[in-house]
Chains A and B, each alone.
Chain A
């Protein structure tokens, strides 16, 4: 095997490649390789695995077996040199080298050259010399560090960090649209590939200046003109398209996030714009407020725990209690008219009153005590007390339900006196008052106080008339 060391041409090859590598490194800025040659650089991520393993095995055998197989060392050295050269060619593509890439390049070159040096020492029979052994140890460290930097370039600098809770800081009140919203979206979805250390498509998105500067496809955003903004175009492309961003397999942006970026660009892509500068009915304001409001599931995760056994105990033939979904502690309760009504069936739900999110008591002969109970269910989001005997007085008692989103009081005796109380439900989105004593005036007042509220008060007269008239299709017999 040692005869291999005597083969001249191998030595010349190693020497030649080392010189070429040094030449490339020294004259980097003057080199412009032909297209096919620079394409060879793309093979770097493939070939690099060989020298890593082969060098590791070579060092291992050198320490354990007291000699290294010549073929092994030669292959390791040659692949190391070819890897370093191809890596260099690949690195030529990047116009601006980040820190990581700079160190990776030079340490990688170091690996290749030290390997060549080791080969030379072996040919001179200094394989077991203490100096060569030290060289081998240094080589292993170089391989490790070079490899680590290389991995960081491809996978992101934080790749090996312990997975930490990905919760981002809460968005502050009156946020700056660029800094707190748009930048946050870009950070969550784009920065892993478009940062100074890894500039895919030569684009960096970590600052507004870089966004405007753009990358190999030109400027990524065009202030005031969403249609011309390449960033948006890529987001809107269908997922199957090669140019769609983020790439398939990575976390995609939600439609809300894409809309926010579009609106921000169309308003001038400014970095001084704040939420309060916008009018409340502007789409961007609505989207940002929606993004800032806490996730539904998170709200329900702070509810007290309720056991299945409790639910089973409180349920009955006419009272259905179920979790809204899965194993959440948010409960939805529905009661149907029993042959003999017993208020206790409702009142004993007191034990779980804080878990009740939806409550349907329609059609039941409920009275003051039951209303009192309902008023104590402060987490209630949807309440149905239609077709009951409640009055304006009872509605007043329900003003404790601040989280109420939907309220059905159809077919009851409530009247205009309740409009003031109803206006005070700040979270109310849907109100059903069909067949009540609330006059058109009362409805208008309610709508005026709460323009966002959807009020269903029955079918409009003209629609009803249109339904009832004989229709135009004659049934020919």
Chain B
């Protein structure tokens, strides 16, 4: 059985039969292709060219970079951005079956006999000219509500953390595919060659945490140079980046040159693309030695900026410090900056824990938006805030105590917000029913979310593909519609 020639193998490995069959297919495709190339300047909706060169957007982008503030653990939409007066009226009543409609339960609440409704632990206020509803947990976010587009009709398929976060990051519930940041890096290329294209910063709150895995920022089957780089908050932002004692920078340069020439010989012999990736990564690391310490040094920030983000921003490893870091990285041209803040998994003790979690992120998230805005970066930076699913409107467990209750996972409806590049400010998109359980208007699935983000970055989500295992993959897999109503 002949091996199928994959794109990664060297062109020298082809055999005669394949050569001739591919030659005729190629010439035939050329002929067909001459019929297919559309006129790029035909006006109307922008269309990507069929043989789109990589590293360039398909059409004029609105956003040049993304800062994704991922709230891992899933914050309750009922306590954040989706007020539900019906829950107050019907407090303690059982969730009607007509509303629940057979939604599967997790193992944690499947034994429950009743599902008593619990209203939000805090009150809501309306903010700004747009009149956006924001809970009292997030007063700072409320103050910048006029810059934000609240999407209240998100829904997903997964009901547990690992598959759900994987779904958000890679477009499928099973691991192995490239993450969002890797796709962006693959499609848009490097803006600043001295820093990685995709940076990840993590922080943990005091609430119940679920794990984070490096598969969430892996490059899957794409070249490993598109992988996310986790920058730590301690003295060494990137492990093993610095030279060992006794090795000077020029020595390092010589070392890299020689190693790279050996690698290149190997590459010619085997045609393995990963070797090229590796050479590129060594070079990137060399440049990062100079650029990373500079970019990670938040002590250089003036006092009024530190005040804006809050005193936490001087404490490495906190969300606020990461948010400030994200702004600095964005200034230096990093394409995709992902922050994770763990601890939102409030299965119990929600009123207390959420207060702490919210305090961790509220001021810094809003400050990030204001800071980007005053530097003129908000129009080309897309900021996203959200978790992997919502939480139930009924309490988890047998006791019903408004001072100490928990909510279980809820995939059918939740809220996120977006601001900045290409997103209409000051609007709310989508609605859930009066119980906050189902989406009733303008549903946005995770695939639609991905398609919309890619559109804002100038990529056609159906065109950015990569062939692996015999078929073409893309971030949105086989679904996803761009939500034009929230794009400018």
Question: Which residues from chain A sit less than 8 Å from chain B, CB to CB?
Answer: 295-298, 301, 317-318, 320, 322-327, 334, 336, 339, 362, 384, 386, 406, 408, 410, 430, 432, 434, 456-459, 463-464, 466-468, 471-476
Report whether B307 and A326 are in contact in the complex, using a CB–CB cutoff of 8 Å.
no
B429: A residues at CB distance < 8 A = none
**Nearest B residue to A297, CB-CB:** B41
How many residue-residue contacts, CB under 8 A, span A and B?
116
Report whether B136 and A334 are in contact in the complex, using a CB–CB cutoff of 8 Å.
no
| Other-chain contact of B140, A334, A336, A467 (Cβ < 8 Å) | A467
Report whether A467 and B366 are in contact in the complex, using a CB–CB cutoff of 8 Å.
yes
Report whether B55 and A336 are in contact in the complex, using a CB–CB cutoff of 8 Å.
no
Distance A458 CA – B379 CA, assembled complex (angstroms): 15
Question: Does B362 have its Cβ within 8 Å of any Cβ on chain A?
Answer: yes
A-facing mask of B362-374, CB < 8 A → 1, else 0? Answer: 1100110010011
Report whether B59 and A326 are in contact in the complex, using a CB–CB cutoff of 8 Å.
yes
Report A320 CB to chain B, min CB distance, Å. 6
In the complex, identify which listed stretch (B85-93, B350-358, B390-398) lies at the interface while the others stay far away. B350-358
A326: B residues at CB distance < 8 A = 40, 48-49, 52, 56-59
Pull 8 A–B residue pairs with CB atoms less than 8 Å apart, ordered by A: A327-B40, A334-B333, A410-B375, A430-B376, A434-B376, A459-B308, A467-B140, A468-B307
A-facing mask of B178-190, CB < 8 A → 1, else 0? Answer: 0000000000011
Distance A473 CA – B79 CA, assembled complex (angstroms): 13
B189: A residues at CB distance < 8 A = 322
**Nearest B residue to A471, CB-CB:** B139
A301: B residues at CB distance < 8 A = 41
Report whether A473 and B139 are in contact in the complex, using a CB–CB cutoff of 8 Å.
yes
What does DSSP make chain B's interface, helix, strand, loop or mixed? loop
Distance A466 CA – B332 CA, assembled complex (angstroms): 29
Known contacts A324-B57, A476-B355; 18 further A-B pairs (Cβ under 8 A): A296-B60, A297-B40, A297-B43, A322-B189, A324-B61, A327-B49, A384-B376, A410-B376, A434-B376, A459-B370, A459-B374, A463-B143, A464-B304, A467-B308, A471-B359, A473-B136, A473-B137, A473-B355
What does DSSP make chain A's interface, helix, strand, loop or mixed? loop
B194: A residues at CB distance < 8 A = 317-318, 336
B139: A residues at CB distance < 8 A = 471-473
B253: A residues at CB distance < 8 A = none
Question: Does B315 have its Cβ within 8 Å of any Cβ on chain A?
Answer: no
Distance A424 CA – B220 CA, assembled complex (angstroms): 51
| Other-chain contact of A473, B192, B287, B308, B359 (Cβ < 8 Å) | B359
B56: A residues at CB distance < 8 A = 322-323, 325-326
Take A296-B60, A410-B376 as given contacts and tell me if A325 and B458 are in contact as well, using a CB distance cutoff of 8 Å: yes
**Nearest A residue to B352, CB-CB:** A476
Report B378 CB to chain A, min CB distance, Å. 9
Q: Choose among B139, B352, B375 the residue with the greatest number of A CB atoms under 10 Å from its CB.
A: B375
Take A325-B60, A327-B49, A473-B137 as given contacts and tell me if A320 and B191 are in contact as well, using a CB distance cutoff of 8 Å: yes
Report B422 CB to chain A, min CB distance, Å. 13
Report whether A468 and B191 are in contact in the complex, using a CB–CB cutoff of 8 Å.
no
Question: Does B280 have its Cβ within 8 Å of any Cβ on chain A?
Answer: no
Please provide the chain B residues from 197 to 242 with a CB less than 8 Å away from any CB of chain A in the complex.
Answer: none
Report whether A325 and B59 are in contact in the complex, using a CB–CB cutoff of 8 Å.
yes
A325: B residues at CB distance < 8 A = 46, 56-61, 458
Report A257 CB to chain B, min CB distance, Å. 13
Distance A104 CA – B304 CA, assembled complex (angstroms): 81
Report whether B355 and A463 are in contact in the complex, using a CB–CB cutoff of 8 Å.
no
Report B393 CB to chain A, min CB distance, Å. 22
Report whether A473 and B373 are in contact in the complex, using a CB–CB cutoff of 8 Å.
no
Question: Does B290 have its Cβ within 8 Å of any Cβ on chain A?
Answer: yes
Report whether B58 and A467 are in contact in the complex, using a CB–CB cutoff of 8 Å.
no
Report B362 CB to chain A, min CB distance, Å. 7
Report A387 CB to chain B, min CB distance, Å. 9
Report whether A339 and B290 are in contact in the complex, using a CB–CB cutoff of 8 Å.
yes
Distance A473 CA – B52 CA, assembled complex (angstroms): 51
B252: A residues at CB distance < 8 A = none
Distance A304 CA – B374 CA, assembled complex (angstroms): 35
**Nearest A residue to B190, CB-CB:** A320
B367: A residues at CB distance < 8 A = 467
